[in-house]
Amino acid sequence: MDIEVLGAVAVRVNGVSITPTAPKPRQVLALLALHADRVVPVSALIEELWDTTPPRSARTTLQTYILQLRELISVALEKDEREGPQGESERRVAKNVLVTMPGGYLLSSADGRSDVRTFERLAGTGYRAMDAGDFAGAARQLREALALWSGTAFADVQAGAQLEMEIKRLEESRLCALDQRIEADLRLGRHRELLAELTVLVNRYRTHESLHAQFMLALRRSGRRGEALDVYQRLRTTLVRDLGLEPSAGLRRLQQSILTAGHESAAEAPDAAKGRLAPTS
């Protein structure tokens, strides 16, 4: 089974899509796919579909959606049977792929590919490389992890309470990986290469202090000191107006170092961005 949720949802068995077009069965599959090989409680699925006001027929309706998904899985499994004989012990049936468990359902991936799991593995490797001072390796691993994203997670799913929570969690993981990849690139002296990307990012995440600090550093190291100070002033205006907050102490120190044209080494400069991060927009 191949599972993709970091963008549009696509779940395939034997290369055949089992992703339904109807919104609610699609929600059910999305939540099961994200938690593949783990039991998803019936209560979580009902909350995803109907929030806090489920109909009296919620469990029966959910069972109908599960049956619809199993029909799609059966079609995909038939392809495998047509392409070659299998022993009885190896033959999979839909109920063994989408399994009824005590209190919930489990989607068995059969050790297939999940873009979320691959992202988390690559990002973890990248973080460990950062900790070890291997900035080239960290940048490479984190860039590969971020390349798995094709848009917002579950972009084509009508998300309920459960998926909305997961979308926020995954977006925060994405931002963390992005922050660390940019820091690795800064430590490798790639400040000019980062300018275009950071221009877009600070406009998208208008209160994200770390990204703004990284943009300020990249501009300063590119000889654009005045523009770096402008970035600080725009961020401060936005923070005060929208959140009632002043920039963090770390960001203020970075501004002062740019004002006084103090020298920072490539190794210590990214640390000026550390400290409190304002909420992302």
Confidence (pLDDT) at 81? 58
Does 109 share its domain with 196? Answer: no
The last residue of one of the domains, among 79, 96, 113, is: 113
At residue 89, the pLDDT reads 37
Domain that holds residue 63: 2-113
How far, in Å, are 92, 93, 97, 108, 121 from residue 75 at the CA level?
Answer: 12, 10, 12, 16, 32
Is residue 182 in a domain?
no
Q: How do residues 134-173 score in pLDDT, each as one tens digit?
A: 999 999 999 999 999 999 999 999 999 999 999 999 999 9
In terms of domains, do 6 and 100 share one? Answer: yes
Q: How far apart are the C-alpha atoms of 64 and 55, rounded to whole Å?
A: 14
Task: Please indicate, yes or no, if residue 127 is contained in any of the structural domains.
Answer: no
What is the β-pairing status of strands 10-13 and 98-101? unpaired
Are both 197 and 107 inside the same structural domain? Answer: no
Query: Does any domain span residue 204?
Result: yes
Last residue of a domain, one of 98, 113, 128: 113
CATH number assigned to the domain comprising residue 258: 1.25.40.10
Residue 185 lies in a domain: no
**Residues 103 and 199 reside in one and the same domain:** no
**In a domain? residue 156:** no
pLDDT per residue over 42-62, tens digit each?
999 999 999 989 999 999 999
Spans of the chain below 70 pLDDT? 80-90, 262-281
Any domain includes 136 = no
Domain CATH code at residue 21: 1.10.10.10
Any domain includes 257: yes
Residue 112 burial (CB count, 10 A) = 15
Out of 113, 147, 172, a domain closes at: 113
Q: Based on the structure, what is the number of domains in the chain?
A: 2
Q: Which pTM was predicted? A: 0.85
Predicted confidence at residue 263, as pLDDT, reads 47
Alpha-carbon distances of 167 from 5, 66, 199, rounded to whole Å = 10, 23, 24
Q: Does residue 157 belong to any structural domain of this protein? A: no
Burial 145-177 (b: 16+ CB within 10 A, else e): bbebbeeebbeebebbebbeebbeebeebbbeb
Q: Residue 45 phi/psi, 5° resolution?
A: -65, -40
* pLDDT, tens only, 184-199: 999 999 999 999 999 9
